[in-house]
Structures are given as C-alpha cells and as structure tokens.
Amino acid sequence: MTELKQLRSNPPEGIVAGPADEENFFEWDCVIVGPEGTCFEHGVFPAKITFSEDYPLSPPKMRFTCDLFHPNIYPDGRVCISILHTPGDDPTGYEASNERWSPVQSVEKILLSVVSMIAEPNDESAANVNAAKMWREDRAQFERIADALVRKTLNLPPRARST
C-alpha cells in the first residue's frame, strides 16, 4: 500500500502502475512507455506484476502482455532481469548477490530497472536468444522489428517498405 501511494504521488516518467483490481493488491497492471532515444521510443507496453504472498521477502514476477522482441524478455513476455531473481547467491555465478532481489527494493525500482533494460539490453544473459543474436549481429533488422512492435502498440499501420 505504501509503494502504491508513493507511485501515485510521484510517478516516474513514462510509467503507470497499480492494482488491476482494488480488491487484489497481489496483481498489478502497468504500462511502460518506450524510452526516448531508443528503437522502442514512443511504444506503449502493457505488463502485469504478480506479487507472492511473502512479498517483499520474495520478488514479484513481471510479464509483458504485448509482443516485445527483446534479449531480456522471454517470448511469452516474462521479464528476465537480475532485480527480479530470487535473493542470495546466483547458482550459475553470473550475478552478484547485490544485483538480485532484496526486500529493500521497491516496485518503482523494478520498473525503472526494466525501462533501463529495455533501453540497454544485456545480450550476455539472454532470455530470448534470437533477439540477443540479432541485437549483436544485425542491429538494423532488430530496430526494424522494434519499430514494427512500437507501431503495433500505437495501432498504427506498418511502415511502407521502400524497394
């Protein structure tokens, strides 16, 4: 409830979030506007955040409910970012424990981290291998796909292809 009040009184730019239903504070809807200066700029990306019964001891789960081709987003929309990983040591040794979930984190910090992740993908820790490969090897094609997804979120027709 405290985090919701904070988000409503001082919302981060380009982010709207809150309970999907005022009767259930464990399921939130959010919308993230694509960060300026990126290939996702102006896109409107809806997502769901689901909190466990033992939040804040365990991290919430976040999933985009629209198509979003991105190295750190699974094809089913689940977000893969360190801040949402279970607290403690990473069994693979990739992440430091201070990068993972901690009960002192907040919904605002999660959402700001996701905006940063959208702007600057981590292609070394890919949830979507095809997107990570394209991000590294064919940035122009990746940006064309991102542009098409942005246009789709805005209900705009695809850009005409030049021949």
Kindly give the confidence (pLDDT) of every residue in the chain, 163 residues in length, as a single tens digit, with 9 standing for 90 and above.
788 888 888 888 999 999 999 888 999 999 999 999 999 999 999 999 999 999 999 999 999 999 999 999 999 999 999 999 887 766 666 777 778 899 989 999 999 999 999 999 999 889 999 999 999 999 999 999 999 999 999 999 988 765 5
**End-to-end Cα spacing for the chain:** 54
Residue 96 lies in a domain: yes
Q: Give the sign of the dihedral formed by CA 69, CA 128, CA 102, CA 54.
A: positive
Number of domains in the chain: 1
Whether 163 is covered by a domain: the verdict is no
Nearest-angstrom CA–CA distance, 157 and 97: 44
Whether residue 159 is contained in a domain is answered as no
Catalytic residue among 30, 39, 66, 80: 80
Residue 75: inside a domain, yes or no? yes
Residue 39 among the catalytic residues: no
Residue 161 lies in a domain: no
Is residue 103 situated within a structural domain? yes
Beta strands in 22-134 (DSSP E): 24-33, 44-50, 61-64
Q: What is the CATH number of the domain that holds 31?
A: 3.10.110.10
* Residue 55: inside a domain: yes
Domain with 36, as residue range(s), is: 1-154
The answer to whether position 162 is within a domain reads: no
pTM: 0.90
Q: In the prediction, which pLDDT does 126 show?
A: 92
